[in-house]
Amino acid sequence: SVWADLDHALLTRRYPHALGGSLRVRATCVDTGGHASVQAYKFCRARKSRRVWPIKGDSGREGTKLWPSTPSRKNKGNVPLYLLGVFAGKSAITSRLRSSLLARQRGEGGGPGHWHFAARDNIGPAYFEELTAETCITDYASTRGGRATSERRRRWVLRRSDLKNEALDCSVYSYAALHGLMALGLRLERPPRPSHDTAPPMIAAPTPAILPRPMDIPTQGKIASAPRPEPTRAKRPRWEP
């Protein structure tokens, strides 16, 4: 089944590291929206210790943090459900893509915030079309007379109605998983420690090829925040590499 295949991938897949060895999957965000919510809740509940987190995107409100301070239990599965600020996530992802393209045009091949795509993954035009499927637009409220007011709302929409955005959504969820790990104590300042052992991974789904540090992201002339998650007073498991 799809769930069995996913479980096998989370347990066994490793990613080669330039310093040698490999990196294991560290966290997963599983979208619980759609028609399979109950199965998704059940899957995540059984793998909570491996940091397989059930998530759901909010309505795209600007200003909402990408990773919430506390999860919600208002769901049919009564599981800790993490409501993601997808506006901030999409703003961050799009900004990194834009800055990476500009750096490449200047002849630069890396640096903080640069997004690397592995040639071995055989990524084609269809993937990048999905990754760039949305654009940020601004809506202005109008009065009864039809005149626009200063009240405005920004939101992400498909550039064309026939486009798919799964690659963008998955990238946002991976970036959110990174924020979730940081909320548990992961620090990006520490160098990665590739592993040569054969022990099963602690957790779930691949993060993007580059792991950008959460920061304020300039997008289309405005600042969209992808904030660092704030720890809550409740006791949580400490990060363990």
Q: Taking a C-beta distance cutoff of 8 angstroms, is the pair 213, 187 a contact?
A: no
Q: Are strands 148-158 and 222-225 parallel, antiparallel or unpaired?
A: unpaired
Whether 203 shows a pLDDT value over 70: the answer reads no
pLDDT score of 2: 87
The percent of residues above 90 in pLDDT, for the chain, comes to: 40
Whether 32 shows a pLDDT value over 70: the answer reads yes
Q: Is residue 72 classed as helix, strand or coil in its secondary structure?
A: strand
Whether 200 shows a pLDDT value over 60: the answer reads no
Whether 112 shows a pLDDT value over 90: the answer reads no
Distance, CA of 35 to CA of 27 (rounded, Å): 23
Distance, CA of 18 to CA of 16 (rounded, Å): 7
Higher local confidence (pLDDT), 67 or 18 = 67
How crowded is residue 56: how many other Cβ atoms within 10 Å of its Cβ?
Answer: 19
83 pLDDT band, cuts 50/70/90, is very high
> pLDDT per residue over 145-189, tens digit each?
667 667 788 999 999 999 999 999 999 999 999 999 999 999 887
1 pLDDT band, cuts 50/70/90, is confident
Rounded mean pLDDT, 125-141: 91
Q: Are strands 82-84 and 52-57 parallel, antiparallel or unpaired?
A: parallel
Higher local confidence (pLDDT), 153 or 91 = 91
pLDDT score of 17: 79
Token pair listed for 76:
């049919």
From the centroid of its chain, how far is CA 240?
Answer: 20
33 pLDDT band, cuts 50/70/90, is confident
Higher local confidence (pLDDT), 229 or 141 = 141
Q: Where are the strands (E) in 76-130, listed by range?
A: 82-84
Higher local confidence (pLDDT), 234 or 143 = 143
If you average pLDDT over every residue of the chain, what do you get?
A: 78
Helix/strand/coil percentages in the chain, nearest 5: 30, 20, 50
> pLDDT per residue over 47-59, tens digit each?
999 999 999 988 7
Q: Residue holding tokens 């943090």? A: 65
Q: Residue holding tokens 């919600």? A: 72
Q: Taking a C-beta distance cutoff of 8 angstroms, is the pair 75, 83 a contact?
A: no
Rounded mean pLDDT, 114-135: 86
Whether 133 shows a pLDDT value over 90: the answer reads yes
**Which residue, among 190, 195, 238, has the nearest Cα to 25 in the 3D structure?**
195
Higher local confidence (pLDDT), 185 or 9 = 185
